[in-house]
Amino acid sequence: MDPLAELDQLQTEALSAISHAQSADQLEQERVRWLGRKSRIIEMMKLIPTLPPESRGPFGQRANQFKKAVEQSLAEQKSGLAQTPTKSHLDVTLPGQSFHSGTLHPITQTLGTILSLFTSMGFEVADGPEMEFEYYNFDGLNIPKDHPSRESFDTFFVDYASPNPKQGRMILRSHTSPVQVRVLEKHEPPLRIVVPGRVYRRDALDPGHSFMFHQVEGLMVDKKTRFSDLKGILDYFLRQLFGPETKTRFRPHYFPFTEPSAEIDIASHLKGKSSFAQKEWLEIMGCGMVHPNVLQAAGYDPKEYQGFAFGMGVERITMLRHGIQDIRSFFESDVRFLEQF
């Protein structure tokens, strides 16, 4: 066969084979086949000295054209393969793989339930710092200097004092009530807020107590806020939280920042479910009308504005709802315990 005609046939075969390569490995095999050291074109180049002198030039030029055509085809096919999505080897007949998903912590779940109940009644969620000054934690709430809770054996003090002498030393807040003072300073009534957050007290760790726990504080201030409003809202809240059969009672109590004050009990239809449920009535939260001194400290006339406040421990409510015996279980990171909720 004429050498030039053989080159034409060889190029046709090479370009066809390259165009059918379906992977990078196959493309590399085609490159070696048509341009490698043992390829057909290399063997044909060795025949140039045996050709007539007038045929050597045209044959060399045609061989270079073959090489360029093959190299261009290899580059185009490589680019096309790079843009083609890789075929998945997914076998849809196999069962799917299950992935372990976490759940919300029981404290977080209870907080969410409490906040959703109050926001449905028009309350807004407020927040404040966990490292607080004495003024907001005590003075602004009508808690006197000689109150036992202000001693070092009840409160965590931080080695820092505010540049403002009025604010006093820094502490880890012992309740969420300081947010009441901060909100009253910045916003005018009518106010209706709930305040969730962590608080700290120097309590010995036992099944019912912890040095860190969670509270939800509530505050409502307006020109016509009455104790009956407080009673109706909290009675409704507790029935929604523990069930419509829940019975409540209000007992007179003392809090420095409310007057009159009360403790709220629920009838122990939950008896036996937790370490708290050992009596006919269970203490669940404290409440009262905002003390006139608290309103005056925030710059409001107690003859014009009245309000009520309430507070509850989230751990205690969670233990009652789920029959949990030990508060320490919430913070030990035992997955076997947490997965139950």
Q: 219-247 burial by CB neighbour count: b if 16+ within 10 A, else e?
A: bbbeeebeeebbbebbbebbebbbeeebe
Q: Return the pLDDT at 258.
A: 94
**Alpha helices, DSSP H only, in 166-313?**
178-186, 227-242, 292-297
What is the arrangement of strands in the sheet containing 157-161, beginning at the earlier edge strand? 131-133, 169-172, 157-161
Q: Convert the pLDDT of each residue in 288-315 to its tens digit.
A: 999 999 999 998 999 999 999 999 999 9
CA distance 41 to 74: 16
CA distances from 226 to 16, 110, 181, 185, 214 (A): 92, 28, 20, 22, 27
Q: Convert the pLDDT of each residue in 122-181 to its tens digit.
A: 999 999 999 999 999 999 999 988 878 777 668 899 988 888 888 999 999 999 999 999
Q: In the predicted model, what is the mean pLDDT of the chain?
A: 87
pLDDT surpasses 70 at 270: no
Q: Return the pLDDT at 279.
A: 61
Are residues 178 and 137 in contact, defined by beta-carbon separation less than 8 angstroms? yes
pLDDT surpasses 60 at 266: yes
Amino acid at site 70: V
Q: Categorise residue 243: left if φ over 0, alpha if ψ from -120 to 50, beta otherwise.
A: left
Computed over its alpha carbons, how large is the radius of gyration of the chain? 40
Q: Return the pLDDT at 113.
A: 95
Strand pairing partners for 262? 252, 287
What is the arrangement of strands in the sheet containing 124-125, beginning at the earlier edge strand? 124-125, 191-200, 212-222, 306-313, 281-290, 258-267, 248-255
pLDDT surpasses 60 at 322: yes
Can you tell me the mean pLDDT for 100-118? 91
Can you tell me the mean pLDDT for 323-331? 89
Give the contacts of 178 (CB within 8 A, at least 6 positions apart).
128, 132, 136, 137, 140, 141
Task: Provide the percentage of residues in the chain whose pLDDT is more than 90.
Answer: 44
pLDDT band at 99 (very low <50, low <70, confident <90, very high): confident
pLDDT band at 93 (very low <50, low <70, confident <90, very high): confident
pLDDT surpasses 70 at 227: yes
pLDDT surpasses 60 at 339: yes
CA distance 68 to 282: 92
pLDDT band at 87 (very low <50, low <70, confident <90, very high): low
pLDDT surpasses 70 at 280: yes
- First-to-last alpha carbon distance for the chain, in angstroms, is 85
Whole-prediction pTM value?
A: 0.68
SS3 content of the chain, % helix, strand, coil (to 5): 40, 20, 35
Both tokens assigned to 282: 């269970």
Burial class (CB in 10 A: 0-12, 13-18, 19+), 218: buried
**Alpha helices, DSSP H only, in 282-313?**
292-297
Q: Return the pLDDT at 100.
A: 76
Task: Output the CA torsion sign for 191, 192, 198, 204.
Answer: positive
Q: Convert the pLDDT of each residue in 39-81 to its tens digit.
A: 888 888 877 888 888 888 888 888 888 888 888 988 888 888 8
Burial class (CB in 10 A: 0-12, 13-18, 19+), 160: exposed
Q: Return the pLDDT at 312.
A: 95
pLDDT band at 275 (very low <50, low <70, confident <90, very high): very low
Q: Return the pLDDT at 272.
A: 46
pLDDT band at 271 (very low <50, low <70, confident <90, very high): very low
CA distance 160 to 133: 10
Between vectors from CA 268 to CA 339 and to CA 332, what angle results, nearest 5°? 25
Q: Return the pLDDT at 140.
A: 92
Select, from the ranges 89-93, 210-214, 271-275, the one with the highest average predicted confidence (pLDDT). Answer: 210-214
